[in-house]
Structure formats: C-alpha cells, structure tokens
Structure 1
Amino acid sequence: MKRLLIICALLFSTVAFAQAQQGQGGGRMGGTPEERAKRSTEMLAEKLKLTDDQKTKVTAIYLEQNAKMRKLRDSLGDNREGMMAVMVKNTQESEAKIEPLLTADQKKLFATWKEERKEMMKKRAEGGQRQNGTK
C-alpha cells in the first residue's frame, strides 16, 4: 500500500512538473517576443548568412511584428479566420521590410526560403484535413 502511494505521488509530481514547464513558453513558438524575435533572426541569419548589422535590423523588424501579433491576439481572441488574415498581412509587411536589407544573393535565398515555408504550411494545412475533407 505504501509503495502504491509513493508511485502515485511520483506520477502526480511528474505530470505537474511537465505541465508547469509547458506553461512557461507563452505560446506555440514559446518565449517572450524578444526571444521569438531572436530565434527568428538566428534562423534567418543561418539561412541567409546575415551580417551583424543586418541581424540587428531584422531583429527590430521581428520585435515590431511580435508586438503587433500580441495586440492582435488580445483584440481578436478566438476569431481564428480574422487572426490568420492579419497574421499573413503582418508577415508580408515584415518580409517587405527585410528584403531591402539583403544583398542580391541573399534575396534569392530569401525567396527560396519563403517558397519552402509556403509549401510546408500548405502541407501542414492539408495534414489537418481528414480523408472525407472535413476537419
């Protein structure tokens, strides 16, 4: 009996600990807007071989985008369709601000990366569909 109680207590504490860690992220991407901007910049820097000056400017653009997204989530709440439309617009605006910062070679890589991301999103959207075409 004592052993069973100890096992139950361990299982409960493990589940509680896992939930507590998961809750710290603050969203699917996780972290603060600054952390998300840094991660996005690092990923783009790796793909495009950004200079330090470019990284600084791209980080500022992503910070602005994340601030807009936070306000958007607060104002739209559960309106997913409305949120998606504005998210796409914000992403396009950010990309339009990033593109002039890039060299000709980086612009080609950026265009390729955007296409890859677009295909990935399309596959992800299709993956959410059941075989009969309903969600």
Structure 2
Amino acid sequence: MKRILMIAVMLFGVISFANAQQGGQNRGGMGGVSPEERIKRQTDQLVEKLKLTDDQKTKVTEIFKAQGEAQMKMREEMGQGGDREAMMAKMQKITSDTETKINALLTDDQKKEYKLFLDQQKQNRGQRPQGGGPQGGPRN
C-alpha cells in the first residue's frame, strides 16, 4: 500500500513539474504563436491597412518588439504574485504608449485609418468569449 501511495505521489510530482515547465505556452490570445510571429502579424496588418512605407514598417516593428518585451516582463512579475489590478493598469499603459508611438509615425490620412482600425479591434475584442475554457453553449 505504501508503495502504491509513493508511486502516486511521485507521478503527481512529475506531472506538476512538466506542467510548470510549459509555463503557459498554451495560454494567450494568439494561440501559442511565438513573439516574433506575433510581431510580424501585427506589423503586416498595419502595413496592409495603413500602406506603411518601409521606414514606417521598420519603426513599427521595433515598437511592437518593445511592447512585447515589456508585456513579457509584466507577465513574469504577475506569475511571481502581484497585484492583478496594478498589473492590468500597467499593461493598458504599455498598450496606450504603443498606440501613441505608432500614431506619431503616421501621416494624417494614416492616423484616421489607424483610429478606425483600433476602434474595430476594440469592438472585436469585446465580442470574444471570456475565459480560457472550451467554447460553446450550455450542455444538456
């Protein structure tokens, strides 16, 4: 009996350790996309929507890279236990700063398109289901 209990405890420990090593790779809004892929996707979206020049594209990529690094740092701090409300406020500030920096690079016409793009993104975000579980309706 002790042997079975010991094996169960060891198995639980190994599974817990393996899950901790994954560190939330399967979580997040981009479905496990690497930071580089996310930056490329975000930049490509703006290039298409705003008709960015090569110079603007380079600068926007750097802005998104800095945003990603700042958010990664915030997530690490959150994982170590922190004030969730304060962390969310900091994340919103990082996003706001990113939008301001990008806006500063744009022409007047691009700024109008960028505002429309951001408004659409915010509207879409509000329509997504909340929570990390499986999506779907109630089950009978």
C-alpha separation between the residues in 2 aligned to 1:71 and 1:24? 15
CA distances 1:14-37 after superposition (whole Å, capped 9, x unpaired): xxxxxxxxx877743233322221
Q: Which amino acid aligns with 2:76?
A: D
C-alpha separation between the residues in 2 aligned to 1:26 and 1:41? 22
Q: Which amino acid aligns with 2:67?
A: Q
More divergent stretch after superposition (58-67 vs 78-87): 78-87
Q: Does the C-alpha gap of structure 1 residues 36 and 25 become closer, same or farther in structure 2, counting only changes over 3 Å?
A: farther
* 82, 85, 108: which one aligns with 1:104: 108
> How many residues matched?
105
Q: Trace 1:1-40 onto structure 2 (pairs within 5 A).
A: 27-29=28-30, 30-40=32-42
CA RMSD of aligned residues (A): 2.4
C-alpha separation between the residues in 2 aligned to 1:128 and 1:67? 25
Higher helix residue share = 1
C-alpha separation between the residues in 2 aligned to 1:118 and 1:92? 13
* Relative contact order higher in (CA < 8 Å, ≥ 6 apart): 2
Q: Secondary structure of the residue that 2:123 maps to in structure 1?
A: helix
Q: Does the C-alpha gap of structure 1 residues 46 and 25 become closer, same or farther in structure 2, counting only changes over 3 Å?
A: farther
Q: Secondary structure of the residue that 1:53 maps to in structure 2?
A: helix
Structure 1 segments unaligned to the other structure (5+ residues):
1-22, 130-135
How far is 1:80 from its partner? Answer: 4.7
Structure 2 segments unaligned to the other structure (5+ residues):
1-23, 132-140
The corresponding residue for 1:118 is 122
**TM-score between both structures, scaled by the size of structure 2:** 0.65
**TM-score between both structures, scaled by the size of structure 1:** 0.67
